[in-house]
Structure 1
Amino acid sequence: METARITGAAVAQLGRLHEGPFFDRKSIRIAPGKLTRTASAFANTDGGDLIIGIEDDGSWSGAPDMEALNGHLQALEALFPYGTECMYTFLQNTDDSTYGLLVTVSKAREIKEASDGKAYVRRGAQSLPVSDLAHLKMQKGITSLETATLNYAYQDLVVSPVAVDFAKSVVPTTEPEPWLRKQSLIVNDLPTVAGTLLFHEEPQIHLPKSSLKLYRYTTSDTEGSRDHLAYDPISIDGCIYDQVKAAVTETVRQVETIPTLDASGLKAIKYPDETVHEIITNALIHRDYSVNDDVHVRVFDNRVEVQSPGSLPANITASNILDERFSRNPVIVRLLNKFPDAPNKDVGEGLNTAFEAMRKLDLREPEIRDTGTSVIVVIWHETLASPESRIVDYLRKNKTINNSQARALLNRPEAERTIRRYFEALITAGEIERVPQSSGRGAKYRLVSAEPTD
């Protein structure tokens, strides 16, 4: 186990840290059982750091030796028996050689219960017991609404054109009903949520908050307002398969009406189709259908936001989402993949495909945010949609730019000739000019509207 030596100044800094959703500190005198409440809360929420050896007033209260922390370690290891969701670091104060313990807890895949048998969650600087364990399981994706049944006649699902066409093309040896029953999409003569979303012609009749809402805001503001709406929001309904296709087509159409700067002037924005497709597909198939909200796609002048109800499930975070795999709605994911020209043909690789497509065109990578109640993926355009516009954006904040600065800005350390072409295109477009009396390798550039530079 790693030991980190920390100075008195570092100890004082730790003592000044404010407790919150991702940080807590405890006295060395805390009972090991109580310690597991905080660890449970971090694991069941979004993870966090816990330091043992700092009093409530921020003063240091280290243990005389490492062995004095054995009880705390044993209690925590009972909570995290395999060591995959919790890391420990001894902290040795160089001023008095006493020891504290840094416990780094990751967001856990399963629900973690403290030694008192209760599960806790982190709310602000508090670790609170969970009153509704079923709701927490739904939030973490351990259980899913997709297996729940809906109170309408299963025959409506059996005779749906979606189910009939699917049976003809995918399972031609059987009628829809026996296949739907075999896949547990009809249970006790009632259709399930997954069956309804996949095969009902209009699932929104029975699941009102399963639509996709599309908005066009004529602004780049952080939030759109009613005043900036270009028109009333568009509601895209139907089964998931049809929703994906309609939503992608309409989103691309809306985006391509927005002009952006090109070296030769203004032109329509063009995203890789797979980026929009994969992000919208992910929003629909991995959303939490127990949350009473629709998927929202907002097209702004400088970005597209795709908001999916429910936080990231299990151990998935915004930082590890491209590497980890977890499906909140495995039935929907599996069966949608059986459709002809399935929208999720590369199961588990959707977001990776979206990110890679943006990189190939030198576009800014999408941004993923977990708000706790929804997941928002932001696809940027305009200002950062091309190397030329990045240079212009840089010059809006800085007086001048040279070739080496532009190479660093665009992460192209060896592309000196390419950078010169960008400068030449921007000069032709009337956006920048060379700073007088600068030339060759010392050439600098500025916006045309910039003040004269000595």
Structure 2
Amino acid sequence: MTIRVEGISDEAVRLLLLIEEGHFQDLKAIEIAPASLTKTMAAFANADGGEIYIGIDEVTDSCGKTSRQWRGFASQEDANGHIQIFETLFPLGGEHRYEFLESESETGKVLHVEIDKSISIKSASNGKIYKRRGAQNLPVTTEEDKRNLERTKGITSFETETVPYPVSNIVESSITAKFMEHQIPTNTPEGWFKKQRLISHGDLATVAAILLFDDEPQIALPKRSGIKLYRYRTSDDEGSRKNLAWDPITIEGSVYNQIYAAVDKVVGVVGDSKITDSDGLREVQYPSETIHEIVTNAVIHRDYSILDDIHIRIFDNRVEVESPGRLPAHITPANILDERYSRNPTIVRLINKFPDAPNKDVGEGLNTAFDAMKSLKLKEPVISERPNSVLVVIRHERLGSPEEICMEYLEDHDEINNRTLRALTGIGSENAIKRVFNRLIGTKQIERIPGRSGPASAYRKWTGHSNP
């Protein structure tokens, strides 16, 4: 098989040699044993994916200073041993790509390997499991670590775990009564639960059963099944106690009731907020579909094995929804709108059977959330992974650059100040807005209004008559 050879510039070579090895990138000399290389490949696949460059030396001079140098394979055939081990680790041909890099000014070809986050658990050629953490390949040795990795990959789910909890609490709950009345009138609750494997091992309820059908699942699953709601009166990057509008609110109950209670509360709190724009002071408006879909996604896809609540933080310029657990299996922030994978398939499937199901369009919720933001000409939500959670940020920030928004405002107003432009753009930093003003002054689009300084500073369209 012919492998693609990509020619790169001297500047690209320079940048490659400066790469800092870490969670997503590693550099190896051509002498790396193929078997040893599988540790790094498996570790990347079991974590978040990554890239390996084979053909980069680390050299130390007589003064003890280290540097990197390019020393690739003399021919493609010289890398056959490495390529064959790739096929062993990824026998179906997916989840990895490779190419050779070459430069006219350097010797040999560097083998560049891209590894995706794998849907399954990969073992190195020594039979051991590794996971990437920073620049290290850490062995996964304990049974608990293996179970956690299986849950992360979606091979197993905490929702199927059983809890020593009276089954009568779910069989006789009010939410079960309503569900059975409207959906399954011909079945007894207990018989239907057993058929759905919500009761197993004789008489034990699963985590999914408790979350879906217990009126107060927090009794059986404390510290891992609630929602905390905060309102911060600030646009700062972080909220603090002094910015809290009121004590955090705890929202409990079944997952179905939690979703609707949380969405109603967020919509209500946001509706009470004000923002300044070209029409003056008005209510903040986020699409209710966006809030609904992102809260629903957080509740039904969170990792319930983690002892933490979902955190919803409402700031002056944004709403943050933080859900415990990283993205499952092969899902990443980059492909989350296109790929489908459910950490809690039972919860996702059964909550869809409820009247007015919160996840009506299964698998399309986040796409709906993004489309709703576009319809109001607001920027798309931003999804990111933290060490043990997923954060979705919904900003009240208009499409278009801050410079464009500033000039649009000045079409209908005589002046603009830092506070107003921060409110218009959703940018919380005063210094960032100052840089916007300076750029516009530099291109002679605006000027500082003479005689105004400090908090009274303001800007107007360029006239050429202003003094700094």
Normalising by structure 2, report the TM-score.
0.85
Residue 170 (structure 2) aligns with: 157
Q: Deviations over 1:303-356 (max 9, x none)?
A: 100000000111111111000100000000000000000000100000000000
Residue 71 (structure 2) aligns with: 61
State the shift of 1:256 in Å. Answer: 1.2
Runs of 4 or more above 6 Å deviation = 428-432
Q: Which runs of 5+ in 2 are unaligned?
A: 60-67, 422-442, 450-457
Residue 19 (structure 1) aligns with: 21
**Helix, strand or coil at the partner of 2:368:** helix
Whether 2:197 is the aligned partner of 1:195: answer: no
Residue 439 (structure 1) aligns with: none
Whether 2:350 is the aligned partner of 1:326: answer: no
* 53-62 vs 277-286, greater mean Cα deviation: 53-62
On the 8 A contact 1:392/1:447 being kept in 2, the answer is: no
Whether 2:343 is the aligned partner of 1:341: answer: no
On the 8 A contact 2:416/2:459 being kept in 1, the answer is: no
On the 8 A contact 1:263/1:428 being kept in 2, the answer is: no
On the 8 A contact 2:415/2:459 being kept in 1, the answer is: no
**Helix, strand or coil at the partner of 2:56:** coil
**Helix, strand or coil at the partner of 2:85:** helix
Residue 291 (structure 2) aligns with: 276
Whether 2:85 is the aligned partner of 1:71: answer: no
Once residues 447 and 256 of structure 2 are traced to their aligned partners in structure 1, the CA distance between those partners, rounded to angstroms, is 49
Once residues 41 and 385 of structure 2 are traced to their aligned partners in structure 1, the CA distance between those partners, rounded to angstroms, is 21
The count of corresponding residues between Structure 1 and Structure 2 is 417
**Helix, strand or coil at the partner of 2:58:** coil
The aligned runs of 1:48-447 (5 Å cut-off) are: 48-57=50-59, 58-131=68-141, 132-187=145-200, 188-208=202-222, 209-381=224-396, 384-385=397-398, 395=406, 401=407, 424-426=411-413, 444=445
Mark the CA change 1:426 to 1:256 in structure 2 (over 3 Å): closer, same or farther.
Answer: farther
Aligned-CA RMSD value = 2.2
Residue 450 (structure 1) aligns with: 459
Letter in 1 for 2:108: T
Q: Which runs of 5+ in 1 are unaligned?
A: 396-400, 402-418, 433-441
On the 8 A contact 2:226/2:251 being kept in 1, the answer is: yes
Once residues 316 and 52 of structure 2 are traced to their aligned partners in structure 1, the CA distance between those partners, rounded to angstroms, is 42
Letter in 1 for 2:211: L
**Helix, strand or coil at the partner of 2:163:** coil
Whether 2:60 is the aligned partner of 1:47: answer: no
State the shift of 1:95 in Å. Answer: 2.9
Identity of aligned residues (%): 51
Letter in 1 for 2:43: A
Residue 424 (structure 2) aligns with: none
On the 8 A contact 1:369/1:375 being kept in 2, the answer is: yes
Mark the CA change 1:246 to 1:263 in structure 2 (over 3 Å): closer, same or farther.
Answer: same
On the 8 A contact 2:228/2:310 being kept in 1, the answer is: yes
Once residues 96 and 231 of structure 1 are traced to their aligned partners in structure 2, the CA distance between those partners, rounded to angstroms, is 63
On the 8 A contact 2:43/2:129 being kept in 1, the answer is: yes
Mark the CA change 1:386 to 1:67 in structure 2 (over 3 Å): closer, same or farther.
Answer: closer
Once residues 343 and 276 of structure 2 are traced to their aligned partners in structure 1, the CA distance between those partners, rounded to angstroms, is 40
State the shift of 1:141 in Å. Answer: 2.5
Residue 427 (structure 2) aligns with: none
